[in-house]
Amino acid sequence: MLFGTTVRVQDDLRWSQGHCSTRLMSDRTREMVSRRTLFRQSAVLGGLGLLTAVRGAKPKVPLSEEDDRFLDDLQRAAYLYFWEQGNPQTGLVRDRFSVHGNDGGGVASIAATGFGLTALCIAEKRRYLLHGPVRDRVLATLRALWRKLPNHRGFFYHFADVNTGERQWDSEVSSVDTAILLCGVLTCTQCFDHEELNDLAEDIFNRVDWTWLSEDTTLLPHGWMPEMGFLPYRWDGNSELMMMYLLGLGSSSHPLPAGHGTLGSAPHLNMGAAVPWRTLYSRPPPADSPTAAAPESAGCSASNRGTRSGSQPGTPESPH
């Protein structure tokens, strides 16, 4: 089942890559694609790096019709969560929902919303949903993100009211959750050829001020709170941080300075360096695991030198 699921998901990944390649090729007729464009595209596709590492994997046994139906049902159920638990007006997706009927309140998360945008693109591609309703939901989401949700220098609060977008649970302005959201936003630009949608996506992406987040550190902080300033924790290990650094390096408005994870040039973050599994986790994966070597090609290594603490809060938050 694992190999079958991988193959099905790889189909969706190839579709996304094809759309990205088409857009990039039009630029190459004029000049080579800029490094920032490549970083941005890599952030969207690189978030699935572990899947690309096993792209060539084939099922040991051909999938039966029953297995194929199961995988189709599984994918439909997965996208339905994001469709049904997303607010049609704001596009925000609930952080969790109980199948027993108690929804636990109306709290959405920025990360779930980002995953939801990508899931809706896949649902539209697989024709689980019609093009029009998916496009309208995406537009509602981007309009709310641009015009309604509170943000601080373009970064969003981790948790928000699913109906109003207001901050919930005294949550932090989250760097990585904003990055996950941005990956979903940029994925939508590859799925829909729509002027307003693409303009909103660009505006949301370009509003993010990566220079503020990296003002005196090459290791980006986990977040910021108006009550206390920057959190003391830093993104300094092999994790989802790669998308964040790639997005920051790919910004055309407020890019990360040179030396922040740029292909091994940073003193504290060596993107692409081999990192032993035992350095990162308590025990390695099984030797025959298809992802056993993935961190060596897709991971990042870092030290704790040069991290900051006690940073001062930035400017007051603004809805724009």
Rounded Cα distance, 22 and 262, in Å: 26
Rounded Cα distance, 2 and 9, in Å: 11
Rounded Cα distance, 260 and 63, in Å: 44
pLDDT at position 308 is 33
Amino acid in the structure at residue 144: A
pLDDT at position 228 is 92
Annotate 92-102 with b (16+ C-beta within 10 A) or e (fewer). bbbbeeeeeee
pLDDT at position 165 is 95
pLDDT at position 104 is 57
User: If you ran DSSP here, which 8-state letter would residue 305 be given?
Assistant: T
Beta carbons within 10 angstroms of residue 230's beta carbon = 27
SS3 279: helix
- Do 207 and 151 form a contact (C-beta atoms < 8 A)? yes
Catalogue all structural domains in the chain, each as residue range(s) with its CATH number.
2-302 (1.50.10.140)
Return the percent helix, strand and coil in the chain, to nearest 5: 45, 10, 45
Helices and strands (H, E) in the chain, number of each type:
12, 9
Kindly write down the DSSP assignment for every residue of 231-247, as one continuous string. Answer: -S-B--SSSTHHHHHHH
pLDDT at position 236 is 76
Beta carbons within 10 angstroms of residue 51's beta carbon = 18
pLDDT at position 135 is 97
| pLDDT tens digits in sequence order for the chain, 320 residues long | 333 433 344 444 444 444 443 343 444 444 434 556 655 665 555 444 433 333 445 656 788 999 989 999 998 999 999 999 999 999 999 998 887 766 557 899 999 999 999 999 999 999 999 999 999 999 999 999 999 999 999 999 999 999 999 999 999 999 999 999 999 999 999 999 999 999 999 999 999 999 998 887 778 889 999 999 999 888 877 677 888 888 998 898 999 887 665 443 344 444 444 344 334 444 444 454 433 333 332 333 233 323 333 333 333 344 43
Q: Tokens representing 126?
A: 């697989």
Q: Is the pTM of this model over 0.75?
A: no
Q: Tokens representing 138?
A: 């995406």
pLDDT at position 195 is 96
Length of the chain equals 320
H-helix or E-strand containing 51? helix 49-52
pLDDT at position 40 is 61
- Do 271 and 263 form a contact (C-beta atoms < 8 A)? yes
